[in-house]
Structure 1
Amino acid sequence: MNLRSSWAAETGQTREDTRLTQTGVTTMTNPVQVRSGVLPGSYDGQYRMSGFWTSGTSAMTATVYEGRAIIQGEISQGAYPVTLPSSQDVTFATGDAQFGRVDLIVAKVYDNLYDGSLRNESKVEIIQGVPGPTPLAPAVPPRSLALYEVAVPAGASAGNGGIPWATALKDLRTPVVSLGGILPVEGSVHPGVYPGQYQDSGGALQRWDGSAWVAYPSAIGGIAPAGAVTTATYTGQYRDTPEGVLQRWSGSAWTPAVPGPYFVDNGDYGDTTSTTYTSTLTGRVTNPLAVSFTAPASRMIIVSFGCRMKSRDDHYAYMALRLTQNGTVVNDLNDEYATVAASATLLSASTTRRLSNLTPGATYTLTAYFRILTNTLGLKAGFENTFIRVDPLP
């Protein structure tokens, strides 16, 4: 009989059948087996897990306090629920004369069907380690749940101070919850078993995405709080920063979710006699006036540019922009989209327009160009307080 059942057959249900089909407190590790561990909870709700908590109570004796646990056997043996209804003392052997050792406190199931022990019971007991210069804990026996490692110093005994409990205990307990429950993580972090499984890491709720535990806000597409996420788990993940800047993971780096605005200006006065567009103004220390920006996901930006400008009442002065990407012209100079004025005195003028069909994430550059209307008088067009501003559209 390969398929096992509980409470179906009129006779013949075995202990093994019952263990293999129990579906109570089970954090799965695969489709058949569950994780061995301790049920979480405490008397006052202050602690995530207090079952089988252990403390030293005399020189060579520790007390293991009450708790409930699940101990998984081999795949065909099923899971053993165990309960310690009241505290139990365990006493450690005297330390080796020369070397320290590491002992284990375990909850162990004896099952004569598999171990030939002639016993069918469960016990909290000590598995004694081997003394040595760098002692290691002994292997965990089959059908056992490791609770604590205990470092026993060389020569430790009731007569010379015993075991230093404040430093000797290493907690090995891990919790388990019912199928679909949110697991409170204590001790080792184990991989998930199915996408959509949840765990509480102590500071954040996490979801198993099939390959890694992902912080819950990012798992549902929300904005991860400031400081919660350092390494992104997918392109398009969002996070807040301590400075209050919303960021998006591009696949290789955190970038502003809505980049910009980008701005450049030059307050110096400069002029030109050129009747064709030039990016250089005579009298200015810095030329040209240019600003680079990253195209947003919307593929659109709003561009504003302008200055104080003058020429002559009957000869127009022009300020226009050229858009390039890696030196290639994307949107060229055009009088129809220029800032234009004809005045013998300086006056303020500006233009705003939308540029579309940009490549998201690509870097573009806007450069200012200037000219005066064709003339035979060698007139100059003057420009001051020039600026370019780029606002990405969301």
Structure 2
Amino acid sequence: MNLRSSWVAETGQTREDTRLTQTGVTTPLNTVQVRSGILPGSYDGQYRLSGLWMNGTAAMTATVHEGRAVIQGSISQGAYPVALTTEETVTFTAGDAQYGRKDLVVVKIYDNVYDSSNRNEAKIEIVKGVPAQTPVAPAAPPLSLPLWEVTVPAGASAGNGGIPWNSALKDLRTPVVSAGGILPLEGPTQRGTYPGQYQDTPDGQFQRWDGGKWVAYPAGVGGVIPASASTLPASYTGQYRAVADGPLQRWNGSAWAPAYPGPYFNDSLDAGYTVSTTYVNTLVERAENPLTVSFVAPESKQAILSFGSRMELTLGSGGTSVASSAFMCVRITQGTTVIREVEDELAAMASRSADPTDASSVSTVQRLYNLTPGQTYTLTAYYRTSNATMRAWFDNTYIQVTPQY
């Protein structure tokens, strides 16, 4: 019978039955197996993972401290829970005369039913590496849990300085928690087992497995990364974050940018005039020529355009005062392509009769539509007069574009 149970049958419960059906401290690996790893926690609550910690205590010896772990065997074997309740000392062999090597410290399970070892026990062992000019750690033996990688320098011995413990240790431990628990991530990131699984990273990011990748918790719930955690990296294009001293931001795939950019604005308080009866973008006596503003089209494909100026018509040199008009319009381009040309029907206009009149401030508001989202458009101010004998003056000129979201 393939279905296993614990503490049901009066007789005949096997060791495999017991191991296979323990579902407490196990992070699922698939529907039957669990991850191998170490139970998290520390005596004072300061550390995520202190079980089976190791430190050097003499030239060639180290101490492995208390801890509990789970080691997954094959599907038929089940998971082996282990516990080290008192410290254990491990001793490394002397270094090679010429080359360094890398050793592994592992928890090894011996189960005679499966490995014909004539042993049924759990041991902390050293797996000795091969000395080499560029040494690599040996593979972990079957049914073992790697704890530490130790670099043993060439010539290291008890009488020759030993192992430099401050630099020789590489932590290979990874934690496991009960099914449904939040995993305090240490070591390499492993794939999730089911959508909705959570883990907490060493840098304080809360992540959720979405079925294909780990995403930051705000992404998993469609929320906004709060200002208090605004240093977290983005998880996907379109994610939002709040910034304490600025507007809401959106990740565009490569950088954080204002989520709702704009309005885009440019102006000139410098007066200038033209006597051209065709549209020009340069005014006499104005230093700031031409007046332009660029903007990025939003997803709505629409924006509100506003432009205007303080306009006045004065008699030119040698001319005769006649009724005339001043026109301001904007040309819209996308790169070198003209999207909208200037024309009087779209212009802001001020008129005067043959007799002098005061200057007047005029503006117009228009809707731009059918824009290409994400493309940059440039608006340039153009001016003209209706009569070459009359100077059309423009002062306090501005252009503003407000994207519609």
TM-score (norm 2): 0.84
Cross-structure match for 1:41:
41
Cross-structure match for 1:389:
400
Partner of residue 360 from structure 2, selected from 347, 350, 360: 347
Question: Gaps (5+ residues) in structure 1?
Answer: none
Matches within 5 A, 1:207-222: 207-222=208-223
Distance 1:384 1:38, change over 3 A: same
Cross-structure match for 1:61:
61
Q: Equivalent residue of 2:308, what SS?
A: strand
Deviates more, 1:274-283 or 1:158-167: 274-283
Matches within 5 A, 1:55-134: 55-134=55-134
1:278 Cα deviation (Å)?
4.7
1:53 Cα deviation (Å)?
0.8
1:171 Cα deviation (Å)?
1.7
Q: Equivalent residue of 2:103, what SS?
A: strand
Cross-structure match for 1:147:
147
Q: Equivalent residue of 2:390, what SS?
A: coil
Say whether residues 1:177 and 2:177 are aligned partners: yes
Matches within 5 A, 1:241-320: 244=246, 246-251=248-253, 254-274=256-276, 277-284=279-286, 287-311=289-313, 315-320=324-329
Say whether residues 1:365 and 2:378 are aligned partners: yes
CA separation in 2, counterparts of 1:139 and 1:265? 69
1:238 Cα deviation (Å)?
2.2
One-letter code aligned to 1:22:
Q
1:206 Cα deviation (Å)?
1.9
CA separation in 1, counterparts of 2:358 and 2:75? 92
Contact 1:318 1:335 in 2 (8 A): no
CA separation in 2, counterparts of 1:24 and 1:383? 80
Q: Equivalent residue of 1:218, what SS?
A: helix
Query: Deviation string for 1:177-215 (max 9, x for gaps)?
Result: 112222112122222223322211112112223333222
CA separation in 2, counterparts of 1:175 and 1:46? 15
Query: Deviation string for 1:78-106 (max 9, x for gaps)?
Result: 11111111212222334444444332221
1:127 Cα deviation (Å)?
2.3
How many aligned positions are there?
Answer: 390
1:44 Cα deviation (Å)?
0.3
CA separation in 1, counterparts of 2:391 and 2:63? 96
Matches within 5 A, 1:2-21: 2-21=2-21
Contact 1:319 1:340 in 2 (8 A): no
CA separation in 2, counterparts of 1:190 and 1:152? 29
One-letter code aligned to 1:302:
I
Contact 2:20 2:77 in 1 (8 A): yes
Partner of residue 338 from structure 1, selected from 344, 348, 352: 348
Contact 1:321 1:338 in 2 (8 A): no
One-letter code aligned to 1:32:
V
Query: Deviation string for 1:20-69 (max 9, x for gaps)?
Result: 23222122233322211111000001111110111222333222111000
Q: Equivalent residue of 1:13, what SS?
A: coil
Deviates more, 1:240-249 or 1:65-74: 240-249
1:220 Cα deviation (Å)?
2.8
What percent identity do the matched residue pairs reach? 62
Q: Equivalent residue of 2:20, what SS?
A: helix
Contact 2:329 2:346 in 1 (8 A): no
CA separation in 2, counterparts of 1:341 and 1:325? 32
CA separation in 1, counterparts of 2:332 and 2:97? 83
1:356 Cα deviation (Å)?
4.5
One-letter code aligned to 1:367:
T
CA separation in 2, counterparts of 1:162 and 1:183? 37
Cross-structure match for 1:194:
194
Contact 2:342 2:382 in 1 (8 A): no
CA separation in 2, counterparts of 1:235 and 1:56? 46
Distance 1:58 1:249, change over 3 A: closer
Contact 1:38 1:69 in 2 (8 A): yes
CA separation in 1, counterparts of 2:152 and 2:275? 92
TM-score (norm 1): 0.86
Question: Gaps (5+ residues) in structure 2?
Answer: 315-321
CA separation in 2, counterparts of 1:136 and 1:272? 79
Query: Deviation string for 1:120-157 (max 9, x for gaps)?
Result: 11122222333344433332111111111223344444
Distance 1:134 1:299, change over 3 A: closer
One-letter code aligned to 1:269:
A
Q: Equivalent residue of 2:113, what SS?
A: helix
Query: Deviation string for 1:351-371 (max 9, x for gaps)?
Result: 344444543323223333334
CA separation in 2, counterparts of 1:278 and 1:130? 80
Deviates more, 1:204-213 or 1:138-147: 204-213
Contact 1:194 1:210 in 2 (8 A): yes
Cross-structure match for 1:227:
231
CA separation in 1, counterparts of 2:253 and 2:223? 17
Distance 1:305 1:167, change over 3 A: same
